[in-house]
């Protein structure tokens, strides 16, 4: 059984207070005011009067943060289970002791073969039950079974890294239906020996607890997650703690550590990039979007999975992969997003501005107006530089959205009118040529498989 394609759900602890701040509305207002002091202060004062606190209009005068410390470092609030289908919405507060029962239900749904099996596992009262929440018919185009060494592309940023004996599933989000077209993604498990799941970072297109649990019918399978020294506005959850509450085994290795999953070597690398500012002074102490990049090494191939990384004040991914090459040799494949994020004014991460003090925001806005603001992600030019530094034989794009199994990504902006994945790939080729690098850029689609045989890559295309 699987959830119907129009069902939206979440299982999450909500941070206290943060949900009451209209980050997107305030960002749009500050942009309208051009970050000029008088209009920006008035905007913040009016919003504070409405919200009853949380904002610091005085930051405009003292150059400091525009939100209170309780927003920068929120306390974990109550757990919520949310189900929505069309206009119908059910939401329930959960005691911490009850979270594991909902997690068990999600695992049971993935294994159930009939509606009666699902109903038997339902952890709530009968009033909340709806037959329409579940689909009886299997997805017409399920994911290919991992049947040999390779990289199996799934929805958005999800891939299966398969060796000769085991698999690691990365960033599954088949039930995160708020993202465009994800309702079309198959929900079938990665068959074969699933040795672990690896999570890169906490943004909603990479970390979705119901999706993860629906792919993990065995609570003892480890989930590799970033270490979170302190939850903060940019990483609102301690991933290991959340999974522990769900009864799921979690490991939080430090950057630089190596984990072995069956016959796959997993090197945990820093995640630099996709922070509120791509350069300049470091963020305030404790403020960071914590994440991991990974290098996977099997008997047949190696790959660097760099997701939405790039450059930030703490480091550059080009230096990270150069170090990895010195220690482990050149890599076969680099996988990375190609989209460019002009933080902190990128609407998809509309809370990022609140992690920067007023003085820094004004300077970054001036750079933005002058066309000097760099992307927080690598973008095509940064991808080429990383491939050259890694000595990569192939570059394969991913994490650029999802438009269906076997469908090319026509808009890496998820419908915002940005270039196609193919166009971004052409730009990467041009930058590689300018660098004199011989990395080959391969075009592929969700559902395709990069298979490795005797040192060569063969693309198995879904039609």
Averaged pLDDT, 193-198: 91
**What does the domain layout of the chain look like in residue ranges?**
146-340+375-456
What is the rounded CA–CA span in Å between residue 410 and residue 433?
24
What tens digit of pLDDT does each residue of 231-260 get?
A: 999 999 999 999 999 999 999 999 999 999
Q: Which positions ≥6 away from 423 have C-beta within 8 Å?
A: none
Query: What pLDDT does residue 302 have?
Result: 98
**Does pLDDT of 191 surpass 80?**
no
Write the pLDDT tens digit of every residue in 408-430: 999 999 988 999 999 999 999 99
SS3 state of residue 367: helix
pLDDT higher than 90, residue 138:
no
Q: Which residue has the tokens 């559902």?
A: 447
- 92 has which bridge partners? 81
Torsion angle defined by CA atoms of residues 19, 20, 23 and 24, in that order, rounded to the nearest 10 degrees: 90
Q: Where residue 328 falls among pLDDT bands split at 50, 70, 90?
A: very high
Nearest-10 Cα torsion for 203, 204, 209, 213: -100
Indicate whether 57 pLDDT > 80.
yes
* Residues composing the chain: 463
The predicted structure's pLDDT at residue 439: 98
The mean pLDDT of 389-409, rounded to a whole number, is 97
Identify the pLDDT of residue 18.
86
| More confident site: 97 or 139 | 97
In three-state secondary structure terms, 67 is strand
Please give the angle made by the CA atoms of 26, 27 and 32, to the nearest 5 degrees.
95
Architecture of the domain delimited by 146-340+375-456: 4-Layer Sandwich (3.60)
Three-state SS annotation for 367-429: HHHCCCCCCCECHHHHHHHHHHHHCCCEEEECCCCCCCCCCCCCCCCCCCCCCCHHHHHHHHH
Give the Cα separation of 384 and 437 in Å (integer).
Answer: 8
Give the separation between CA 202 and CA 334, rounded to whole angstroms.
21
| Nearest alpha carbon to residue 257 among 265, 249, 248 | 265
pLDDT at site 192? 57
**pLDDT tens profile 106-116:** 999 988 889 99
Check residues 415 and 459 and name the one with the higher pLDDT: 459
State residue 286 phi and psi, 5-degree precision. 90, -10
Among 354, 226, 235, CA closest to 286:
235
267, pLDDT greater than 70: yes
**Cα gap 195→164, rounded to integer Å:** 12
Report the pLDDT averaged over residues 399-412. 96
Coil/strand/helix, residue 64: coil
Distance spanning both ends of the chain, measured CA to CA: 25
Chain centroid to Cα 204, Å, comes to 6
Average pLDDT for the chain: 94
Residue 87's contacts (CB-CB under 8 Å, 6 or more residues apart) are: none
* Radius of gyration for the alpha carbons in the chain, expressed in angstroms and rounded: 22
- Whole-number pLDDT of residue 190: 53
Statement: the pTM of the whole predicted model exceeds 0.75: yes
d(CA 336, CA 260): 23
Candidates 70, 85, 88, 98; CA nearest to 11 is: 98
Confidence of residue 17 (pLDDT cuts 50, 70, 90): confident
């Amino acid at each position: 059984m699987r959830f119907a394609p129009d069902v939206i759900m979440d299982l999450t602890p909500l941070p206290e207070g943060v949900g009451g701040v209209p980050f997107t509305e305030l960002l749009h207002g500050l942009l309208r005011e051009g970050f000029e002091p008088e209009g920006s202060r008035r905007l913040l004062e009016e919003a504070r009067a409405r919200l009853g606190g949380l904002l610091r209009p005085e930051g405009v005068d003292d150059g400091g943060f525009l939100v209170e410390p309780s927003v920068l470092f929120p306390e974990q609030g109550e757990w919520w289970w949310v189900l929505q289908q069309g206009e119908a919405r059910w939401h329930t507060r959960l005691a911490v002791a009850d979270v594991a029962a909902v997690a068990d239900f999600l695992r049971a749904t993935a294994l159930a073969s009939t509606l009666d099996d699902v109903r038997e596992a339902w952890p709530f009262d009968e009033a909340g039950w709806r037959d329409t929440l579940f689909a009886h018919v299997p997805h017409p185009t399920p994911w290919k079974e991992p049947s040999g060494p390779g990289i199996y592309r799934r929805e958005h940023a999800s891939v299966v890294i398969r060796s000769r004996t085991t698999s690691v599933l990365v960033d599954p989000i088949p039930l995160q239906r708020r993202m465009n077209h994800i309702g079309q993604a198959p929900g079938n498990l990665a068959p074969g020996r699933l040795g672990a799941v690896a999570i890169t970072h906490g943004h909603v297109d990479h970390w979705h607890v119901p999706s993860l649990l629906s792919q993990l019918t065995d609570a003892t399978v480890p989930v590799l997650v970033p270490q979170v020294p302190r939850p903060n506005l940019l990483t609102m959850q301690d991933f290991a703690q959340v999974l522990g509450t769900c009864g799921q085994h979690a490991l939080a290795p430090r950057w630089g550590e190596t984990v072995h999953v069956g016959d796959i070597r997993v090197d945990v690398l820093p995640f630099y990039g996709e922070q509120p500012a791509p350069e300049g002074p470091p963020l305030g102490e404790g403020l960071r979007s914590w994440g991991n990049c990974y290098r996977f090494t099997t008997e047949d191939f190696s790959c660097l999975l760099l997701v939405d990384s790039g450059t930030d004040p703490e480091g550059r991914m080009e230096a990270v992969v150069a170090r990895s090459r010195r220690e482990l040799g050149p890599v076969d494949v680099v996988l990375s997003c190609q989209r460019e994020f002009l933080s902190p004014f990128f609407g998809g991460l509309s809370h990022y501005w609140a992690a920067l003090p007023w003085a820094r925001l004004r300077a970054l806005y001036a750079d933005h107006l002058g066309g000097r603001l760099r992307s927080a992600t690598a973008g095509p030019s940064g991808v080429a530089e990383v491939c050259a530094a890694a000595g990569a034989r192939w570059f394969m794009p991913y994490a650029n959205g999802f438009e269906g199994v076997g469908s090319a990504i026509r808009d890496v902006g998820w419908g915002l009118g940005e270039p196609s994945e193919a166009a971004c790939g052409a730009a990467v080729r041009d930058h590689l040529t300018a660098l004199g690098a011989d990395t080959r850029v391969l075009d592929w689609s969700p559902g395709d498989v990069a298979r490795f045989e005797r040192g060569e890559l063969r693309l198995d295309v879904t039609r």
